[in-house]
Amino acid sequence: MMRNKSILLRNGFYVMLGLGLCMSVHAAPPGSQSAIMDDMTACSLGNAESCNRAGIMLTSLGRYREALSCYEHSCNFNNGAGCSWLAYMYANGNGGADKDLEKAKKLYKKACTLQYGQACYSLGELYENDEKVEYKLSEILELYEKSCTLGYSFGCSSLGYMYAHGTEKSPPEPRTAAFFYAKACDLLDGLGCVNAGLIYADKDEKKKADYEKSAEYYRKACNLFVGSGCSNLGYYYEVGLGVAQDGNMAVFNYERGCELDEILGCYNAALLYEKGEIVQQDVKKARELYNLGCILGDEESCLSHDKLKIVHLHKK
């Protein structure tokens, strides 16, 4: 199963120091100068959101040291997002901030206390990956759960992953994992949808597979542009799992997966067109799809494409 990793969107931006505040706009694009100045003016009057917006704009312009100052002011005004951005800079040692994981943890903790879900997740991730300090699993789970409750999908997906795989002290809990993956999916996390689909498709002596539910989550994943969701849904239509068997819907979803760089989508659609058993045979289309799979690095697609090419040449 796939596990999400945090992606802090570094939208960039930049600031200038004056009276201890971020106050510089030199070299900013014409359209952004006035916006930065407006936010910096509001920031100087104690508006935390404006400090944070100015910091983000300055970051996007590569003015990291000035942005750092804006995030500091935002955090001092108790803005969770500002504290989280500041923590990110210290955690990674960029933007003019020396790498300081302990400082990053304190800032993430403050942001989490201020109900900023992404910070709770990031703190949990730092705890989980800390090589010097072994944090209690209960602390990590609590942070991910708070992040999830606050609407941050990666917190939900991380809980799903941990419950799906279990730990040294506890066995996997697939039902709980499915619950959290489904929550991530509800928060528009496409990989959360795929993982929920995988769990519902799994079966053992304790539970039966629920292919209808699985198909539902694969469809959601596909609609969120996750290629594996489309490809998995295509397979369900091909063999009639959880949905009525439908060759045209199978190739439709396989091709959607292929468009999203899912190799199996390209290969499986090509195979159906080549065989012509549940869809109308179209060797030319099959070659095109095998070629796309080959371009994506699939050796079997390359071999199948070359085989059809040779057959085509012999028929001439």
Residue 17: its H or E element:
strand 17-18
Rounded Cα distance, 125 and 108, in Å: 11
**pLDDT of res. 239:** 97
Rounded Cα distance, 125 and 172, in Å: 20
In this structure, which long-range contacts are made by residues 277-283, counting pairs with CB atoms below 8 Å and at least 24 apart in sequence?
Answer: 277/247, 278/238, 278/245, 278/247, 278/250, 279/247, 279/248, 279/250, 279/251, 283/308, 283/312
List the chain pLDDT tens, one digit each, 316 residues.
332 332 222 122 222 223 244 544 444 454 567 888 888 889 888 999 999 999 999 888 888 888 999 999 999 999 999 999 999 999 988 767 889 999 999 999 999 999 999 999 999 999 999 988 889 999 999 999 999 999 999 999 999 999 999 987 889 999 999 999 999 999 999 999 999 999 999 987 677 899 999 999 999 999 999 999 999 999 999 999 999 999 999 999 999 999 999 999 999 999 999 999 999 999 999 999 999 999 999 999 999 999 987 765 556 5
**pLDDT of res. 311:** 67
Rounded Cα distance, 105 and 8, in Å: 16
**pLDDT of res. 65:** 87
Report DSSP state, residue 98.
Answer: P
Cα 198–Cα 202–Cα 205 angle in degrees, nearest 5:
165
Give the helix, strand, coil percentages of the chain, each rounded to 5: 65, 0, 30
Residue type, 187: L
Residue type, 299: E
**pLDDT of res. 299:** 96
Reduced to 3 states (helix: H, G, I; strand: E, B; else coil), residue 34 is helix
Is there a contact between 181 and 160 (Cβ–Cβ < 8 Å)?
yes
**pLDDT of res. 313:** 56
In this prediction the pTM is 0.83
Is there a contact between 33 and 78 (Cβ–Cβ < 8 Å)?
no
Q: Residue 189: which region, alpha, beta or left (left: phi > 0; alpha: psi -120 to 50)?
A: beta
